[in-house]
Structure 1
Amino acid sequence: MDRIFDPDIDPAPLIGKRVAIIGYGNQGRAQSLNLHDSGIDVVVGLRDGSTTAAEVQAVGLATASLGDAVASAELVMLLIPDETMAGVYGQIEPHLRPGAALGFSHGLAIHFKFIKPRSDLDVFLLAPKGPGTALRSLYVAGDGMTSLWAVAQDSSGNARATALAYGQAIGSGRAGLIASSFAEECEADLFNEGAVVWGAVPEVLIAGFDTLVEAGISPEVAYMECVGELKLLAGLIEARGIAGMREAISNTAELGALIGGPQVIGDDVRTAMRALLATVRDGSFARALSDEEASGYPLLRAARRKARGLAVEAARLKLED
């Protein structure tokens, strides 16, 4: 594994350069502030009439229209939702300087050709492996978040150096930068989101809660058992790994996990995971994402409404009263 840390990174590619951040969401805010605190000249590009301008300016960051921000920068970082990138890139491409660098924190738009960058541009990936809130809090604490980096297009011959310097400037060189590719980062991330952390884990929590309630356990106890202990699991795995987590829990819990885990997560689940990965790799998911955006997000809106009405949510709210 090629893992690079601050001492082996040359900051020169960003010295005296301006970085334009397009998108001031979870990653955009964190990366902008980390860059600014690292002494980088940062401007946040905003759409005309954006209500975010005052918020951005209040934390000491410069703002400009999308076109002006891009035209003023040697490096442009696209940190907007994947499904909107093609439209925004079409708006900013005429303003991109010849030989500029174009960066991403997720590989989807390039890997699945939502965007086909101009041939004169350097195109790189710098993907923090966690949410922007954590990226920022770690930076402020003097720590960093591991990031993946990759180069898709190296017009200048300096794309690798630029990617690493950018990773250093947002604090990831403190934790390590790992070489990857747009395809690997994109496919692994989409698979994890659908099949593991954001997809399967919540469904397992809901199913466990429902099973206990159907068996006569009170909703509050079912919630504490099936959902509330998840943070304990996450903390133990982060600190000790999966093997260390199992050694840290009681013999009762460990034996229960040994017997019950394979019953729930068996060959049928692994077969379903392989099938899901196939839909990621063949572009089916990327097309579904594009279609969802084009139709106004009906599936996501309906799913959010349904989730708010679940019994497990009612139990959570009752416990918080």
Structure 2
Amino acid sequence: MNLLRDADIDPAPLAGKRVAILGYGNQGRAQALNLHDSGIDVVVGLRGGSGSANEAEAVGLTTALLEPAVASADVVMVLAPDEIHAALYREIEPHVRNGAALGFSHGLSVRFGFVEPRADLDVFMVAPKGPGTALRSLFTEGKGMIAVWAVAQDATGGARDLALAYGRAIGCGRAGLIASSFAEEAEADLFNEQAVVWGAVPELLIAGFETLVAGGVSPELAYLECVGELKLIADLIEARGIAGMREVISNTAELGALLGGRRIIDEGVRQRMAQVLEEVRAGKFAAELRQEESGGYPRLEKARLKNRETLLEETYRRLSDAEG
């Protein structure tokens, strides 16, 4: 692994260049502010009537309508939701300067053909491995968030150096930048979202909670046991690794983990994980994402409403109110 840090990266390729940030959400806000604090000329490109304009300007950022923002920029960072990248790129492409750079923080839209960049453009990715809120808070603390970087198209011969300079400017060089590819990053990220952290782990917590409640345990205790301890294990893993985490918990917990873990996460789970990865690589998820967006997100809206009405969520609210 070639981990590049600030001292290894030349900031000059980004010096004097203007960066247009498209999308003022979780990553867009954080990256715009970090760039601004690093002395980079930043403009946030917004549609007319966007409620984000006042918010961005209130923290000292320059804003402009989408087309002039893009036309004025040397680097256009596409940080809007992945599923709208195709329509957004069609809209902005006539206004992107010849020889400019197009940047992303996720490989999905290039890997799966949502965006097919013009041949004269450099195309790079800097993908912080965490939410924008954490990217920003770490930056303000003088720290950084690890990120992966990649180049999909090097029209000018300078795409690599520009990508690294961008990663340095948003603070990721403080923690380290790891080389990857658009395909590797997209496939790994989509797999994780479905099969591990964002998909499987919450379902495991819900299943554990519901099993205890069905077995006669109070919802409050079931929540504290199955959900409340998640932060503890996450903090221990971050500090010590999985092996180190197991070595500092009690013998009771360690033996329970040894006897129970592989009964739940068995070979069948691993086979289904492999199937998820195969489907991701085949483009099945990317197609479903585009279909969901085109239909107005019906499955997501239905799931959000249903999730709010569960006993687990009611218990969470009760415990939160009691603590607050």
TM-score of the two chains, using structure 1 as the length reference: 0.99
AA paired with 1:91?
E
Q: Deviations over 1:5-64 (max 9, x none)?
A: 111111111111100000000000000000000000000000111111000000000000
Residue of structure 2 in register with 1:4 after alignment: 4
Residue of structure 2 in register with 1:64 after alignment: 64
Residue of structure 2 in register with 1:261 after alignment: 261
Are 2:314 and 1:318 equivalent residues in the alignment? no
The 2-side partners of 1:298 and 1:308 are apart by: 16
SS in structure 1 opposite 2:168? helix
Residue of structure 2 in register with 1:19 after alignment: 19
Residue of structure 2 in register with 1:211 after alignment: 211
Q: Deviations over 1:175-207 (max 9, x none)?
A: 110000000000000000000000000000000
Residue of structure 1 in register with 2:198 after alignment: 198
The 2-side partners of 1:173 and 1:295 are apart by: 40
The 1-side partners of 2:308 and 2:279 are apart by: 28
Are 2:304 and 1:304 equivalent residues in the alignment? yes
Residue of structure 2 in register with 1:83 after alignment: 83
Are 2:106 and 1:129 equivalent residues in the alignment? no
Alignment of 1:21-170 (within 5 A): 21-170=21-170
Q: Deviations over 1:113-143 (max 9, x none)?
A: 1010000000001000000000001100000
AA paired with 1:9?
I
AA paired with 1:217?
V
Deviation at 1:158, TM superposition (A): 0.1
RMSD over aligned CA atoms reads 0.5
TM-score of the two chains, using structure 2 as the length reference: 0.99
SS in structure 1 opposite 2:178? strand
AA paired with 1:267?
E
The 1-side partners of 2:24 and 2:51 are apart by: 11
Residue of structure 2 in register with 1:275 after alignment: 275
AA paired with 2:277?
L
Residue of structure 2 in register with 1:189 after alignment: 189
The 1-side partners of 2:165 and 2:319 are apart by: 46
The 2-side partners of 1:160 and 1:102 are apart by: 12
The 1-side partners of 2:245 and 2:310 are apart by: 30
SS in structure 1 opposite 2:233? helix
The 2-side partners of 1:75 and 1:185 are apart by: 21
The percent of aligned pairs where both chains have the same amino acid is 68
Deviation at 1:2, TM superposition (A): 1.6
Deviation at 1:278, TM superposition (A): 0.8
Are 2:228 and 1:246 equivalent residues in the alignment? no
SS in structure 1 opposite 2:125? strand
The 1-side partners of 2:48 and 2:152 are apart by: 31
AA paired with 2:268?
D
Deviation at 1:99, TM superposition (A): 0.1
SS in structure 2 opposite 1:16? coil
AA paired with 1:282?
A
The 1-side partners of 2:305 and 2:168 are apart by: 40
Unaligned runs of 5+ in 2: none
Residues paired across the two proteins, number: 321
The 2-side partners of 1:41 and 1:76 are apart by: 12
AA paired with 1:108?
L
AA paired with 1:319?
L
Residue of structure 1 in register with 2:232 after alignment: 232
The 2-side partners of 1:31 and 1:248 are apart by: 37
The 2-side partners of 1:312 and 1:51 are apart by: 34
Deviation at 1:98, TM superposition (A): 0.3
AA paired with 2:163?
A
Deviation at 1:318, TM superposition (A): 1.2
Residue of structure 2 in register with 1:294 after alignment: 294
- Superposed structure 1 runs of 4+ greater than 2 Å apart: none
The 2-side partners of 1:66 and 1:175 are apart by: 32
Q: Deviations over 1:204-234 (max 9, x none)?
A: 0000000000000000000000000000000
Deviation at 1:101, TM superposition (A): 0.4
